[in-house]
Structure 1
Amino acid sequence: MTCSSKRALASTVLNPALLKKSLQRLTFGLLTGSLLLSNAAFAETITPAQVDGVYVFGDSLVDTGNIYQISSQQQPLSPPYYQGRFSNGPLWVEDLLANLSISLSPSTLGGTDFAVGGATTGQLGVLLQIRKFLTSAPTITPNTLYFVTAGGNDFLNNASLNPKIPVNNLVTAVSSLYAYGARNVVVTNLPDLGKIPEVNSDPQESAALSAVTIEFNRKLKKALAELEVKRPGLNVIWIDTYSLLNSIMANPTPYGITNIKDACVEGTYTEPTTPCENPDQYLFWDTVHPTRATGQVFANFAYQRIFGNRP
């Protein structure tokens, strides 16, 4: 399976001009004490009891079935993919919300998850999702929790893209939510895109994506910190997936992970190969997405980052 063949798959369902190469490719990692320090610019937390609603925007890392419904349940093929998720089980955000007794379902089925596999940050991606959300006349309170996870597809479609473009898009996304009453917004940065199986065997492409990941994360964190100052009451909850991925790859053994480089399942999203026998020992489910086991590690970290304690 080549990089280009899997990336082109998104254009069969989404806009071919902007989403022509890939569904979202990201992964997650491990909580360490030093990771908490990296979030110092975003120090506020909320309590689980305060949360009275949840909305999700982004790409395939948090798409619980929208692209599956849009594609007439053809991608990702389930099984081996889990019920329209780009993994072998529930997604990290579902595991996190289960601790709040909140279930998440796709907006195409009347739910509150507006994320779409393959989405970029732009006008036909996250910004479009938010426009659709706002035009649906949602009930918004200060205690509603919002998740925004995107950016990887922007660079996997174009590694030379100026990071300011997706950064500005995400700042616009958070600002739009704030203008309609949102106050608690969870934003994930990008893990090292150069380490995903789809590109990690290509030194040139891997290096380019690693470099742009660092620059994007730096600019996004700075821009969101500045936005908090300008928007009274805004609480951006920063999830440092970059440090998480690096941590778990540096020391995967405590988490039962033995393979941090290869994909458990290959092929395309409509014609996947037979999965490996031990997916819980793999960091990556396919060439671009994490396994459910990896997602559970991230869910626990994100819960602690949001609420200040472990579930």
Structure 2
Amino acid sequence: MKKQVVAAGFVLFSFMLSPKASAASFSNFFVFGDSLSDTGNVFAATGGLIDPTTAFPKNPPYFQGRFSNNRVWVDYLGNELGLKPTPYLISNPAIPNQGLNFAVGGASSGQGNAVVPSAPLPGVLRQVGLLTQPVVQANQKLDPNALYAVWGGANDYVFGQATNATQTVKNLSDAIGLLASSGAKNILVFNLPDLGKIPLALATGQSNNLTALTNDHNQKLAEELDKFSNNPNLNLISVDVSSVFNQIQANPGEFGFKNVTSPCVVGNFQTIISVCSQPNDYLFFDSVHPTTNAHKLIADAALAAIEAKSVPEPAINLGILALTAFGAMGTLKCQQKRSALVSK
């Protein structure tokens, strides 16, 4: 059986799993990414621990260093796993016992920052190096029982100069390879939602170009992940965020959204003109970042992908299993959103 599992492929199994079936299996939670995963690094870097009123992103309307109106997927998934990774810029030198979040708003897939190139803030590949380099130099290994999450690339296309996905995907593949060679066993990898559908793209006429880049990215990323499938020591878990957002945008009401094209926040990060009264009616909080309810659905997809790994090879006929699962749907309304996310 392949080690790589895509979140969209196991609706039948998700009905039969406890919500915290995998919670006890991870000792730490390490996160590498950009503003979609940042839980306070940019906020700390811009003085948020000293004067929150002048830090970035501004609080309010942004929530406690997150680029959203409330918690992001890292918070929601961490809660399900019983782990709370600390933003690395506000952590102690010693690694906290629940992990670290290295994700930085504006991070490129590589070494630096795509939004503010002059800022001394690490890209995704560099973030991985911040964790692995000291471990390797000490002739040690990363914690094999921890969960490592890698999500990046969007800034390369939206704010950077990337005209195709080749280098971006290579950076992410190199990051995954570096984690694996340093001892990581459980690596969660996210693809990109259609960047051509974010409000910024719609407003600036970049939709066609960004959609093409997204498709190129997701295809190349899938091909790179397949290369790791022959490693018996690697538990590579893919989360199909593209499908999650496609389903939300095709049927917004099913997921509780009323607006999937316009941002709640009008303006830019420096100058906020207005903020809507009901942010969670919107898929996008600002022109590029999802609202917290969208982050909940991303976390649901990630948890479902993780839980799939706890399901053994079925010894019974899959047709019988399917009938059993669908027969249970009527009594499992509480999982309706998650099943919709992973059913296509």
**TM class by shorter-chain length?**
0.7 to 0.9
- Which aligned pairs between 1:90-239 and structure 2 lie closer than 5 A? 90-110=71-91, 112-124=100-112, 125-137=123-135, 140-158=142-160, 160-203=162-205, 205-229=206-230, 231-239=231-239
1:144–1:269 distance in 2 versus 1, CA, 3 Å? same
Counterpart CA distance in 2 for 1:305 and 1:63 is 21
Instruction: Give the partner amino acid of 1:107.
Output: Y
Counterpart CA distance in 1 for 2:67 and 2:300 is 19
* Seq. identity, %: 38
Question: Hey, what does 1:52 align to over in structure 2?
Answer: 27
1:59 and 1:116 in contact (8 A); partners too: yes
Q: Which runs of 5+ in 2 are unaligned?
A: 1-5, 12-20, 49-54, 113-122, 311-334, 339-344
Q: Could you say which structure has the larger radius of gyration?
A: 2
The answer as to 2:56 corresponding to 1:79 is no
CA shift, 1:135, in A, is 3.5
With the length of structure 2 as denominator, give the TM-score of the two structures: 0.74
Q: Which runs of 5+ in 1 are unaligned?
A: 1-32, 39-45
1:105–1:139 distance in 2 versus 1, CA, 3 Å? farther
Instruction: Give the partner amino acid of 1:131.
Output: G
CA shift, 1:95, in A, is 0.5
Counterpart CA distance in 2 for 1:139 and 1:76 is 35
1:77 and 1:272 in contact (8 A); partners too: no
> Deviating runs (4+, > 3 A) in structure 1?
135-139
State the SS of the aligned residue for 2:224.
helix
- Which aligned pairs between 1:8-27 and structure 2 lie closer than 5 A? none
CA shift, 1:57, in A, is 0.3
CA shift, 1:236, in A, is 1.4
With the length of structure 1 as denominator, give the TM-score of the two structures: 0.81
Counterpart CA distance in 2 for 1:119 and 1:84 is 15
Question: Hey, what does 2:319 align to over in structure 1?
Answer: none
CA shift, 1:227, in A, is 2.1
Counterpart CA distance in 2 for 1:270 and 1:200 is 21
Counterpart CA distance in 2 for 1:190 and 1:135 is 27
Number of aligned residue pairs: give it. 270
Instruction: Give the partner amino acid of 2:229.
Output: E
Instruction: Give the partner amino acid of 2:144.
Output: P
Instruction: Give the partner amino acid of 2:46.
Output: S
CA shift, 1:139, in A, is 7.0
Question: Hey, what does 1:17 align to over in structure 2?
Answer: none
Indicate the RMSD between aligned Cα atoms, in angstroms: 2.2
1:81 and 1:88 in contact (8 A); partners too: yes
